[in-house]
Amino acid sequence: MSSAVPDDGWQPPPLPRRLTDPVPVILAGSVLWLAALVVLGVLLLTGARPADAWLWACVVGVGLGALGLGVLALQRRAVARGSRGAQKL
């Protein structure tokens, strides 16, 4: 009968880069918020819909996406220059 004790040195294989890269997710979310902002902006300009909370939610969504991409760019630059406090993405 074999023992079910796992090997102490075993590490799972690393995930592929496409599954750990947050940039495509941030870009997709920002594009969706931008598309909704354009639609609501057109409706606002035609007078079919007033400027309500959804319009401002879209503005904030696009802004947060841009902020997230900026933070990732700064983080990747810190990793590239070898900063000790940088998180490796």
Residues 6 or more apart whose Cβ sits within 8 Å of residue 2: none
Instruction: Give me the count of residues in the chain.
Output: 89
For residue 17, how far is the Cα from the chain centroid? 14
pLDDT given at position 5:
64
The least confident of 3-12, 18-27, 31-40, 47-56 is 3-12
Helices marked H in 1-89: 17-20, 23-46, 53-81
Question: Across residues 34-53, what is the average pLDDT?
Answer: 94
Question: Across residues 23-37, what is the average pLDDT?
Answer: 96
Residue 3, SS3? coil
Please state whether the predicted TM-score (pTM) of the whole model is above 0.85.
no
pLDDT given at position 86:
77
Bigger pLDDT: 86 or 29?
Answer: 29
| Tokens read off for 11 | 């590490």
